[in-house]
Amino acid sequence: MKVVIYQPLRHGSRIKIRLPYEMTEERALVKQIAGRFYHKSQRLWSIPNTEENWALLKKIFKDKYVIEKVQQIPKMPSVILNEKSLEEMAKVYQKLVLKSYSNHTIRNYKAELGNFFKYFENIDLRQLDKEKIESYIFYLIDKYKISESRQNTVINAIKFYYEKVLNMPREFYDIQRPKRAKTLPNVLSLEEVFELINSPKNIKHKAILYTLYSCGLRVGELVNLRIKDIRSDLGHVFIKGAKGKKDRHTVLSNYLLEILREYFKQHKPSYWLFEGQSGGQYSAKSIQRIYRKAQQQTGANPWSTPHTLRHSFATHLLENGENLRNIQIMLGHESSKTTEIYTHVINVNNKKVKNPLDIIIKQHKFDNKKKK
């Protein structure tokens, strides 16, 4: 039985390792490597892809390992649409704009429908049946290994075209969807969050991470925050036109307010709370870079993202006894079921939950004492 080390793709940042359960000594040594992480769903470890770590793995496993190459998934080629498909795409774009879909959704639907139109460019799209559409989705899964999330985007885009642009009946294009994976969100501990948000020396970068966490914001909501949205007199932050084009309020931390005041004195933004060097909104990519640098400096979960701070905000509120309905409002969830997922990731331990075995044994000892 040997260890499998997966050769990363070019520019891959992590080395993945599958360790047999019996190799306890080797596992203990892997746990000592800086930046290591265990992927529960895949049942393998990963460490940063460096020359030093490769040498370390060879030293730990000696002749007990094999190296396997990770199969590269082919990229979907760029498509050039014919005149007929371009006309259909123009109709799609017009309908999306008229229905006030977000720029993000418009971009995704256009991309997926571009591939769809190209695949069936020699066929009358109005004559396609459900089976042919599902065979197209299977082709994307089989050849390009698209994720469940992307499968749903493809299906939503196709349904939008047939139902909203072509006014076809909804029932006929009730396309088979993938079974939703019941994955739990990544969450950082209180200590990890504290170290991560305090990692930046730059006050603007620190203020951005503080705001993401303490308000439970999505990155898109953060970049759209205006100075006037910080309602210090009322003790809340106003979030305008969030997901689903809904306004909401979230709690304003007194500590965040101190950080924001310090940031404001130094940077003096004019309209947006966080602005770029030449004015205008701060970019989402810049926020990603700020988070990644802080994550690397603190050694936090390497698979976490800025959105992990939002998950952590909700989970920590729940652990602190906050009402689920209040958390739902602050996060802007339309359904309480979306918020309830955080009940599955709260930190459960013997300090917070009385184990029934402890109760039974304690009661048994007490009863025996009474009998004596």
Q: Is residue 297 part of a domain?
A: yes
DSSP-derived secondary structure letter, 274: S
d(CA 82, CA 117): 9
Query: With contact defined as beta carbons under 8 Å apart, do 173 and 163 qualify?
Result: yes
Q: Pull the structure tokens for residue 127.
A: 């004559």
The tens digit of pLDDT for each residue in 227-247 reads 999 999 999 999 998 877 789
Same domain, 228 and 317: yes
H/E segment holding residue 39? strand 37-39
Residue with the bigger pLDDT between 160 and 369: it is 160
Check 14, 206, 310, 311 and give the catalytic one. Answer: 310
SS3 state at 147: coil
Write down the pLDDT at residue 348: 56
Q: Pull the structure tokens for residue 252.
A: 């304003």
The tens digit of pLDDT for each residue in 318-370 reads 988 899 999 999 999 988 888 988 887 776 555 556 667 766 777 776 666 65
H/E segment holding residue 231? strand 230-231
Residue with the bigger pLDDT between 314 and 9: it is 314
What band does 155 get if pLDDT is binned at 50, 70 and 90? very high
Residue 44, phi then psi, degrees to nearest 5: -150, 165
Query: With contact defined as beta carbons under 8 Å apart, do 201 and 207 qualify?
Result: no
Write down the pLDDT at residue 369: 61
Q: Answer yes or no: 342 catalytic.
A: yes
d(CA 221, CA 252): 15
Q: Is residue 371 part of a domain?
A: no
Q: How many CB atoms lie within 10 A of CB 256?
A: 19
Same domain, 16 and 128: no
Q: Answer yes or no: 218 catalytic.
A: yes
Same domain, 113 and 255: no
Q: Answer yes or no: 243 catalytic.
A: yes
Averaged pLDDT score across all residues of the chain: 89
Q: What is the mean pLDDT of residues 288-315?
A: 93
Residue with the bigger pLDDT between 96 and 182: it is 96
Distances (CA, A) of 295 to 85, 248, 260, 344: 44, 29, 22, 24
Does the CA dihedral 318-324-330-334 come out positive or negative?
A: positive
Same domain, 159 and 219: no
Write down the pLDDT at residue 273: 97
The tens digit of pLDDT for each residue in 242-257 reads 877 789 999 999 999 9
Check 36, 205, 248, 333 and give the catalytic one. Answer: 333
Q: Which residues pair with 275 in a beta bridge?
A: 281
- Name the domain count of the chain: 3
* Chain centroid, CA 237 distance in Å: 23
Is residue 165 pLDDT above 90, yes or no?
yes
Same domain, 166 and 229: no
Write down the pLDDT at residue 186: 84
Q: List the domain range (segments joined by +) for residue 44.
A: 3-69
Residue with the bigger pLDDT between 151 and 242: it is 151
Distances (CA, A) of 3 to 6, 27, 28: 10, 10, 14
Q: Is residue 311 part of a domain?
A: yes
SS3 state at 67: strand
Q: Answer yes or no: 205 catalytic.
A: no
Q: What is the mean pLDDT of residues 283-309?
A: 93
> Which region among 34-48, 205-219, 316-330 has the lowest average model confidence (pLDDT)?
34-48
Q: What is the mean pLDDT of residues 176-202?
A: 85
Q: Is residue 321 part of a domain?
A: yes
- List own/partner pairs for 143-146 with CB under 8 A and 24 or more apart: 143/74, 144/73, 144/74, 144/75, 144/76, 145/73
How is 250-262 classified by DSSP, letter by letter? EE--HHHHHHHHH
Same domain, 131 and 54: no
Write down the pLDDT at residue 256: 95
Query: With contact defined as beta carbons under 8 Å apart, do 15 and 47 qualify?
Result: yes
Is residue 171 pLDDT above 70, yes or no?
no
Q: Is residue 108 part of a domain?
A: yes
* Exposure string over 121-155, b if 16+ CB within 10 A, otherwise e: eeeebeebeeeebeebbeebbeeeebeeebbebbb
> Which region among 109-113, 217-221, 356-360 has the lowest average model confidence (pLDDT)?
356-360
Check 36, 206, 218, 248 and give the catalytic one. Answer: 218
* 88, amino acid identity: E
Q: Pull the structure tokens for residue 212.
A: 């993401």
Is residue 172 pLDDT above 60, yes or no?
no
Q: Answer yes or no: 10 catalytic.
A: no
d(CA 368, CA 346): 36
What band does 200 get if pLDDT is binned at 50, 70 and 90? very high
> Which region among 8-12, 116-120, 214-218, 320-324 has the lowest average model confidence (pLDDT)?
8-12
Same domain, 65 and 87: no
Same domain, 210 and 246: yes
Same domain, 45 and 120: no
| pTM assigned to the model | 0.70
SS3 state at 120: coil
171 contacts: CB under 8 Å, gap ≥ 6: none
* Residue 116's CATH number: 1.10.150.130
Region of 67 (left: φ > 0; alpha: ψ -120 to 50; beta: rest) is beta
Check 243, 249, 292, 293 and give the catalytic one. Answer: 243
Q: Answer yes or no: 173 catalytic.
A: no
d(CA 114, CA 93): 12
